[in-house]
A and B are shown apart, each in its own frame.
Chain A
């Protein structure tokens, strides 16, 4: 699994870590049950704050892709399928794009809702 971060990017570093993991799931590089590298190790290797990595892992947990348990680390859940990770990745990209255009949460949700209704 390749974790990439660009400190010059406008996207928060934690989100970039989460995006890397989503891409790895979507590409089939990692599968359910596999452990993510410890946050401390990722932080040291990439020269970023430990809490930044943890924020990325927590985002993945909120998306249902990762199970975070003390002493066990971050383990990919059975929901961590390539399809679900792909959707989560595109959703994150959509949110970033919306933010850059000044759109709020309700605006994006409205757009998604109407897209569902049209489909």
Chain B
């Protein structure tokens, strides 16, 4: 129990400290360098070409506070979903870096400047530099959240009526299926087009271009996955990155079932890997075949995948074997 609270405390600190630091850096940098900055910010890149430094300060603080509030709200909403909390941390870290980057590039361009025109934007404000940096920041936040708390081990075997496969004594099996989300792909393409449009014709700052590009990359990565079922559990893997997007270890699975996803069961825009208070999983299609796992913590793991009945049969057969072996060990 102490470990669980320790984990929650760590996750709250990791998620909420970056926006506070971003706000502090904004105030600190502007206060320290105030005597070396001109009266007006030149080349702010926004709608107005020049604005007072107080506006930059307020913008930085307001965005830091909004990022903090975003983190608090989502941490509360996703308090029982450890996997989902990692995404919240990634957003607050990325948001904080963008806020600090925005303020710093304005300071660098205006430091000791006598008047207009301002210096050109530094190279590190290019989307080609910003996007990789944000990706690294997101990965570091992912790591900083620490390991997921241990899920309780499921007990008992799946019900007699649950689907099963006929496997002989020493036989091993693996279910693998690649799934595409057309909606996810369309969303990625839309964001990619918006990114190019914003970079070429848009009046927005580098922040907007970087954010659009990041969303496009994430949407593309989420639109294509491989579902793998083996004696370790059910995992949804991003084939290009070879990383697990979502998964359920076999030891935490109570029972697997196959069914049809009711499109109304999940929010309309929920595609790709998702984490919700009662369910998590991966959705590629609006409806269709679905593998549904009942987990030991009372939650459900859902994956839309063709051949779900075979996958469910394999999971239950592996569970029978695992629990039988555990029973033998106890004797």
B228:A2 contact, CB within 8 angstroms:
no
With an 8 Å Cβ cutoff, the count of chain B residues facing the other chain is 25
Cα separation A29 to B310 with both chains bound (whole Å): 11
B176:A1 contact, CB within 8 angstroms:
yes
**Could you give, for residues 230-271 of chain B, a 1 whenever the CB lies within 8 Å of some chain A CB and a 0 otherwise?**
111000010100100000000000000000000000000000
Interface check B174, CB cutoff 8 A: yes
Interface check A108, CB cutoff 8 A: no
Interface check B177, CB cutoff 8 A: yes
B230:A46 contact, CB within 8 angstroms:
yes
B173:A3 contact, CB within 8 angstroms:
yes
B178:A6 contact, CB within 8 angstroms:
no
B170:A2 contact, CB within 8 angstroms:
no
Q: What residues on B are CB-neighbors of A4 within 8 Å?
A: 167, 171-174
Q: For the complex formed, measure the closest distance between the CB of B270 and the CB atoms of chain A, giving whole angstroms.
A: 26
With an 8 Å Cβ cutoff, the count of chain A residues facing the other chain is 19
CB contacts under 8 Å to A, within B292-313, are: 306-307, 310
Interface check B138, CB cutoff 8 A: no
Which residue of A2, A7, A8 contacts B174 across the interface (Cβ within 8 Å)? A2
Interface check A83, CB cutoff 8 A: no
Given A37-B228, A41-B228, verify A47-B172 contact (CB < 8 Å).
Answer: yes
Q: For the complex formed, measure the closest distance between the CB of A37 and the CB atoms of chain B, giving whole angstroms.
A: 4
CB contacts under 8 Å to B, within A34-55, are: 34-38, 41-42, 45-47
Given A2-B314, A29-B307, A37-B226, verify A42-B176 contact (CB < 8 Å).
Answer: yes
**Could you give, for residues 213-233 of chain B, a 1 whenever the CB lies within 8 Å of some chain A CB and a 0 otherwise?**
000000000000010101110
Cα separation A81 to B173 with both chains bound (whole Å): 23
Q: What residues on A are CB-neighbors of B167 within 8 Å?
A: 4
Interface check B87, CB cutoff 8 A: no
Interface centre among A8, A34, A37, A46 (most CB of B within 10 A): A37
Cα separation A86 to B117 with both chains bound (whole Å): 74
Q: What residues on A are CB-neighbors of B232 within 8 Å?
A: 45
Q: What residues on A are CB-neighbors of B230 within 8 Å?
A: 45-46
B169:A8 contact, CB within 8 angstroms:
yes
Interface check B175, CB cutoff 8 A: yes
A42:B174 contact, CB within 8 angstroms:
yes
Q: For the complex formed, measure the closest distance between the CB of A60 and the CB atoms of chain B, giving whole angstroms.
A: 15
Interface check B168, CB cutoff 8 A: yes
B175:A6 contact, CB within 8 angstroms:
no
Interface centre among A2, A6, A7, A35 (most CB of B within 10 A): A2
Q: What residues on B are CB-neighbors of A29 within 8 Å?
A: 306-307
Cα separation A34 to B226 with both chains bound (whole Å): 12
B178:A5 contact, CB within 8 angstroms:
no
Q: For the complex formed, measure the closest distance between the CB of A9 and the CB atoms of chain B, giving whole angstroms.
A: 8
B177:A1 contact, CB within 8 angstroms:
yes
CB contacts under 8 Å to A, within B163-222, are: 165, 167-178
Cα separation A8 to B307 with both chains bound (whole Å): 27
Which residue of A3, A7, A35, A46 contacts B178 across the interface (Cβ within 8 Å)? A35
Cα separation A5 to B168 with both chains bound (whole Å): 10
Task: Knowing that A4-B167, A35-B239, A37-B176 touch, tell me 7 more A-B residue pairs with CB under 8 angstroms.
Answer: A2-B175, A2-B310, A3-B173, A4-B172, A29-B307, A35-B178, A45-B228
- 26 pairs across A/B with beta carbons < 8 Å? A1-B176, A1-B177, A2-B174, A2-B307, A2-B310, A3-B173, A3-B175, A4-B167, A4-B174, A5-B171, A5-B173, A6-B172, A7-B170, A8-B170, A29-B307, A34-B178, A37-B174, A37-B176, A41-B228, A41-B237, A42-B176, A45-B174, A46-B172, A46-B173, A46-B174, A46-B230
